[in-house]
Structure 1
Amino acid sequence: MEFTDLLLWVLSVLLIGVGIAGTVLPALPGTVLVLAGIVVGAWIDDFTRVGWVALASVTVLAIVSGVVDYLSGVLGAQRAGASRLAVIGAAVGTVAGIFMGFVGVLFMPLVGAAVGEWLARRDQVNAMRIGVATWVGLMIGMVAKVALAFVMVGIFVVALLV
């Protein structure tokens, strides 16, 4: 193995690892980074082991992940009857949560949605209900993103080994 190939494999693994972390950290485009790492890994041997079928499959999964991520929070909020301010609050809470560690990433969207809903309607009970519904939607989306990222990695590994 050439030194260049070794560096490319390191880059591939780093992109995939950071991408998997990005499936739970909102500041990182998780499945896009996983896809990038897989493309780098496929490129190393001119797409002979990881061919176009595998790459098309993981690309579709990355797109599905993006759609699921977007829709899960929005649909969770809308289904509960959230105001526009609640959705904005969830987004602000998500960004603020990045700076508060893992617990902040998990719970600041709930706080943001609840505060946004309270500001819109001044109803504490409804605000908490909307906050929880938005949070549940976001958590479902996060679990789906993590699962899709691991399926993408699984397809890559199987293509490499077979």
Structure 2
Amino acid sequence: MGFVNVFADWLFVLVWIVGLAGTFVPVLPATLIILAGALLHELLVGFSELSRLSWTWLVLITVAVFAVDNLAALIGARRYGAGRAGMWGAFIGGILGLFILPPLGVFVMPLVGAFAAESLSGKSADAALRAAWGTFVGMLGGMAGKFLLHLMMGILVLRAIF
């Protein structure tokens, strides 16, 4: 095993750890960081360690991550009684949160958006607060799901390269 292979292997491990940590920082594209780490690894070793099946699994897990990311807050909001307005409010709040107090805004603004939208649609403050809480619970559940999927991505690559 040459220096380049050892370097590439440990570089992937480092990038994967950054990606895992990035799961909890909404402005970092953690999934893409992990995929880029796998691609960089393969570029350095001449595409000799990850099979087509491994790449297929990485792509499928990536799709699952994006599904979890986009659906978790909506499911949480719906579970706690949010209507269409609250879900749209959470979505718009999440986008605004990227620009307002990042990265904290990404956590807070979906709650504010859901609460505001539910209140404006005529729901009581208690019902609007419950919907906002559901959005937050959904976001946390989504982060947990993404973290597990990011672990799977890394383990898949590690099994192939070590």
Residues 61-76 of structure 1 aligned to structure 2 (within 5 Å): 61-76=61-76
C-alpha separation in 2, matches of 1:131 and 1:124: 10
Deviates more, 1:137-146 or 1:102-111: 102-111
Equivalent residue letter for 1:31: T
Between 37-46 and 4-13, report the one with greater CA deviation: 4-13
Task: Give 3-state SS (helix, strand or coil) of 2:94's partner.
Answer: helix
Offset, 1:141: 0.7
Match of 1:65, SS? helix
Q: CA contact under 8 A between 2:97 and 2:110: conserved in structure 1? A: yes
Equivalent residues in 2 for 1:147-158, closer than 5 Å: 147-158=148-159
- Give the match for residue 112 of structure 1: 113
Deviation of 1:131 (Å): 0.6
Taking the aligned partners of 2:23 and 2:140, their CA distance within structure 1 comes to 11
Instruction: Report the counterpart of residue 47 of structure 2 in structure 1.
Output: 47
Report the RMSD for the aligned CA atoms in angstroms. 3.1
Shift of 1:27: 3.7
Q: Which amino acid aligns with 1:81?
A: G
Secondary structure of 2:121's counterpart equals helix
Which residues in structure 2 correspond to 1:25-44 (within 5 Å)? 25-44=25-44
What displacement does 1:112 show? 1.9
Residue matched to 2:59: 59
Which consecutive residues of structure 2, in runs of 5 or more, have no partner in the other structure? none
Q: Is the 8 A contact 1:49 1:159 kept in 2?
A: yes
> Residues 125, 32 of structure 1: CA spacing in aligned structure 2 closer, same or farther, 3 A cutoff?
same
Q: Is the 8 A contact 2:97 2:109 kept in 1?
A: yes
Give the Å deviation of 1:13. 6.9
TM-score by length of 1: 0.78
**Aligned pairs for 1:70-89 within 5 A:** 70-89=70-89
Structure 1 vs Structure 2: percent identity of aligned residues? 31
Deviation at 1:59, TM superposition (A): 1.8
Shift of 1:64: 1.0
Deviations 1:136-157 (A, max 9, x none): 1111011111221122112212
Specify every segment of 5 or more residues in structure 1 that has no aligned partner in the other structure, as ranges.
none
Alpha-carbon distance between aligned partners in 1 of 2:59 and 2:143, rounded to the nearest angstrom: 18
State TM-score, norm by structure 2: 0.78
Shift of 1:5: 8.8
Distance in 2 (CA, whole Å) between partners of 1:160 and 1:116 is 49
Q: 2:124 corresponds to which residue?
A: 123
Q: How many residues align?
A: 161
**1:24 matched residue in structure 2:** 24
How far is 1:134 from its partner?
1.5
1:27 and 1:101 mapped to 2: Cα distance? Answer: 8
Q: Is the alpha carbon distance of 1:91 and 1:15 closer, same or farther for their aligned partners in structure 2, counting shifts above 3 Å?
A: farther
